[in-house]
Amino acid sequence: MADPLLTLTRLDAHYNDFQALFGIDFDIAEGEVVAIIGSNGAGKSTLMRSISGLITNGASQISYRGEQIGALRADQIAEKGIALVPEGRQLFPSLSVEENLLIGGQIGRSGPWSLAKIFELFPVLQERRDQASTSLSGGQQQMVAIGRALMANPDLLLLDEVSLGLAPVIIKSIYDALPQIVGGGMSAVIVEQDISKALSVSSRFYCLQEGRVSLEGESGSQTREAISRAYFGV
């Protein structure tokens, strides 16, 4: 196997006195799509916050392209080509749709994604480019959040619960766009509560439970029962 793009080595994460992650080992290769599943509070979002630098870790616990990045700030990590679509979308309410997308691209990394390409992927955003981002529907806001991350032309895209709170038909249209997004060789980590959705779009998965990896493997390789056990811990 080729050298992994991102490797986590015995990663711990804390919120003050509370330890949320315990010794996570994880890797993802270039061009790979990996799913992270687990129930509420399993530590999925904490893992995303650690990778993207919103929580700082020991330098050696996270390595990216052979470089230790665990102790870097979020803006430094973003410049290295890791972009997060945060849970709950978190658009900038003072910025219009177009401005939200532009600020994603202000890092100035070159690559296939531009305002025009985002509008091609999600045409509805072009019609609403001058509107306040808060005036959009939940699904459209999620498209802005994904577009905003893509504008940075990342090599690794982290998608945290993109389907949360959205209608099934919207979720489907967002997941239908995924092959176009990762088709260009971009790697992606997809965090999902919906197990079947997560397994259908990924090649490998990790299941978290109470801050630890309870199961990992190729997405087609595990039985429902094994995954349920790892997911619920019963």
Partner 1 sequence: MHVDWINSIIQGVLLGGLYAMIAAGLSLIFGVMRLVNIAHGDLIILAAYLGLTVASALGLYPLTALLIVVPVMAVIGYGLQRIVLNNTLSDDILPPLLVTFGLSVIIQNGLLEIYSADPQKLDAGQLGVASTNVAGISVGLLPLLMFVTAVVVIAGLQWIFYRTALGRAFRAVSDNQDVAQLMGLNKRHVYGVAMALSLAVVALAGIFLGMRTSFDPSIGGGRLIFGFEAVIIGGLGNLWGTLVGGVILGVAQNIGAQINPGWQVLAGHVVFLFILAVRPRGLFPRMTG
Under the rule (CB under 8 A), what is the footprint of partner 1? 52-54, 73-76, 78-79, 83-84, 86, 90, 92-95, 99, 102-104, 106-107, 132, 134-135, 148, 152
Which of 91, 199 has the CB closer to partner 1?
91
**C-beta of 35: minimal distance to partner 1 in Å?**
21
**C-beta of 92: minimal distance to partner 1 in Å?**
4
CA dist list (Å): 24 to 16, 20, 47, 50, 87: 19, 11, 9, 11, 20
Which of 154, 222 has the CB closer to partner 1?
154
Which of 64, 231 has the CB closer to partner 1?
64
**C-beta of 79: minimal distance to partner 1 in Å?**
5
**C-beta of 118: minimal distance to partner 1 in Å?**
15
Rounded to whole angstroms, the Cα distance separating 207 from 171 reads: 21
Q: Check if the beta carbon of residue 194 is closer than 8 Å to that of residue 88.
A: no
Rounded to whole angstroms, the Cα distance separating 5 from 64 reads: 6
Q: Check if the beta carbon of residue 183 is closer than 8 Å to that of residue 152.
A: no
**C-beta of 86: minimal distance to partner 1 in Å?**
6
**Residue tagged 């056990």 (tokens):** 229
Q: Which residue type sits at 176?
A: D
What is the DSSP secondary structure assignment for residue 75, as one 8-state letter? Answer: H
**C-beta of 53: minimal distance to partner 1 in Å?**
7
Transcribe 9-61 into DSSP letters.
EEEEEEETTEEEEEEEEEEE-TT-EEEEE--TTSSHHHHHHHHHTSS---GGG
Beta strand 204-209 pairing with 82-85: unpaired
Which of 28, 158 has the CB closer to partner 1?
158
Which of 76, 221 has the CB closer to partner 1?
76
Which of 135, 200 has the CB closer to partner 1?
135
